[in-house]
Structure 1
């Protein structure tokens, strides 16, 4: 079996790698080509180019990089058509993925599976109908998503979220982490995102939060796990922060032990909106969510938004206990006050985090294996390879 699979950011790399591992378990002679990061490459992917080239979010940012993105979209589609795989799996990043799918479908009958349902429940509901012309199947991470896709005529399978299977730090590892770095009091994670565009926008705001937090709670230690593609940018910024912040970089933490220990050891996290809220919930770490975007993105997305929260933990658990500061509300002062409030009452979010993990499949079959079964079970022949 030949699979062409694409991803464009660290969260997609994790999803793609989990799916690839599941496919290898069910179809031992499967081979992979496409675009992905280190995790997918470790599973056997031959990547066309560095996935960081297509990791761009926000309308203004996409317009600025449009010519380069368009060239990479065409290169990827041409590679798929030339390869003629049994299936093309596009992982998240719809601005890139769905354009590749459309080009591929225009000149071939290659089966297309999109992994991660678009957020049609949040904004732009017509996207599902447009996808139906060039996507044969959707794999959903969230349990409430399949009906939205099926209403548009696209078969959709809820496969759970790989975050529920990610290893968590033990108590001994947490204690060792704190001792190794001399952290004896309160600890806050600062997580400004993994995309260049969002980190560039959020870091100046988070820097002001860091200074205010230090003034308010001078014994609080800030720890910043930086994603590989933006590590240099983050390192340069936090060098000027007060309180001797601890930077965790993938290059110095290849097995991820420090990052896992930091997630479990933290008393609170300030995080960019996105998948990281689920990682924090898996670790049981209460959080404050903040996100900003360009003025153009604010105007367009703000008018289209159909939900009152963008935090995945809040949406999955159907609660609203996690403070979030989005767009014009992404201001250092209110964010700092919210972090202080969470530190003073850390247990308020626990039920929402536990419920989220349960609904995402904790305790069940690995989501990557479930995703692999879903891909195989809907092959056009109707005869699963396994």
Structure 2
């Protein structure tokens, strides 16, 4: 069986590696070509070029590299057509991968599978219909996504979210984290301002004021910031003038084979979190850590996105569990006073959130077949049709 598979960023590489492992488990004769990172390489892929060439975001970043990206798109599409694989699997990175799929379909009848459904349930619903012209099957991470893809004429399989396959710290590891950082039984607040420079610089001052209010109300409260590697320096500069110095976890400082072990232990040890919007809500849910979500953007983005969004919540725990148990403060509502007040409420009674988080993890596939293997099964079933 011949598979051409491509990913354009680290999250896609992780999905691709798990999917490739699943395909190898189910088909001993599978042969891979394509583009990927270290996790896909470990599963037998020789990447045609460095995946980092595709990791660009935003108009300002893309324009200088436009010619080079278009050349890579054309080169990749030609390689797919030359290989005549049983299936082309594109993973996320729609600006690159879907352009490749379209060019492949223009020149061949190769079956195209796209892994990670676009968020048409939230905004730009027309993307599904456009995709259906050159994508045969979609692998969805969220259980409510298949009907949106199927309505546009594509097969769509819910295969589970990768968060359910990620390791979670034990209670003992959480307690050890508290002992290491001399937290004891004090209430522990996680602050998670995002992984991009723009997010951290915009949310940092708001989160600082949230922490000031919380530590005034609860003087015994301790604060930990598990920083993403790209923004460690920015976070350390921002917290220099905080009245309650937080513990900043830097994965680059950890001299172990598992640089994220401290972060997972902090998640398990925490009583509550204030977090930027995103998949971090699912990581917190996996650890059973109650949360308040807060996010803001520049004024122009607020106006544009505010007119396009079709859902009343952006928090994945709320969407998957079909509740509104996780409080969120988005855009103009991202203000320190209300955020801090809600954190204190959640700290006092997290029961509704704990129930919603448990439901979320169950619906995402926790305890079932690993997502990578489910994705592999769906791909093979589609090829056999």
Q: Which TM-score tier does this pair reach, normalised by the shorter chain?
A: 0.7 to 0.9
Q: Distance in 2 between matches of 1:96 and 1:161?
A: 22
**Quick check: 2:210–2:340 contact (8 Å CA) kept in 1?**
yes
Alignment of 1:81 with 2:82, yes or no, is no
- The reply to whether residue 160 of structure 1 matches residue 160 of structure 2 is yes
- CA distance in structure 2 between the aligned counterparts of 1:71 and 1:198, rounded to whole angstroms: 29
Superposed CA deviations along residues 16-75 of structure 1, whole A, max 9, x for unmatched, are: 332233223234554354244x5445545556346496353xxxxx23323046346424
Report the CA distance between 1:359 and its aligned residue: 1.0
- The CA deviation at 1:259 is 1.3
2:360 corresponding residue in structure 1: 356
Q: How far is the alpha carbon of 1:160 from its aligned partner?
A: 1.0
Query: TM-score if structure 2 supplies the norm length?
Result: 0.87
Q: Residues of 2 paired with 1:217 and 1:16: CA distance? A: 45
List per-residue Cα deviations over 1:100-119 (Å, max 9, x = no partner).
43345445555432211111
- State the Cα distance separating 1:139 from its structure 2 match: 0.5
- Determine the C-alpha separation between the residues in 2 that align with 1:90 and 1:292: 31
**CA distance change for structure 1 residues 211 and 182 in 2, over 3 Å: closer, same or farther?**
same
Aligned 8 A contact 2:112 2:135 in 1: yes
- TM superposition score normalised by structure 1: 0.87
**SS of corresponding position for 1:378:** helix
Pairs within 5 Å for 1:51-62:
51=52, 54=55, 56=57, 62=58
Matched residue, 1:365 = 369
Q: Deviations over 1:178-231 (max 9, x none)?
A: 111111211111122233443343333323323333333332222122223333
Q: After TM superposition, give the deviation of residue 82 of structure 1 in Å.
A: 4.2
Give unpaired runs (5+ residues) of structure 2: none
| 1:320, distance to aligned residue in structure 2 (A) | 0.7
Cα RMSD (Å):
2.6
More divergent stretch after superposition (126-135 vs 1-10): 1-10
Q: Which residue of 1 aligns with 2:191?
A: 190
- Per-residue CA deviation, residues 66-90 of structure 1 (Å, 9 max, x unaligned), is 3046346424413422432634433
Matches within 5 A, 1:1-386: 1-8=2-9, 10=11, 12-28=12-28, 29-31=30-32, 33-36=34-37, 39-40=39-40, 42-43=42-43, 48-49=49-50, 51=52, 54=55, 56=57, 62-68=58-64, 70-71=66-67, 73-84=69-80, 86=85, 87-107=87-107, 109-184=109-184, 185-253=186-254, 254-255=257-258, 256-379=260-383, 382=384
Query: Deviation at 1:376?
Result: 2.2
> How many residues were matched structurally?
374
Match of 1:59 in 2: none
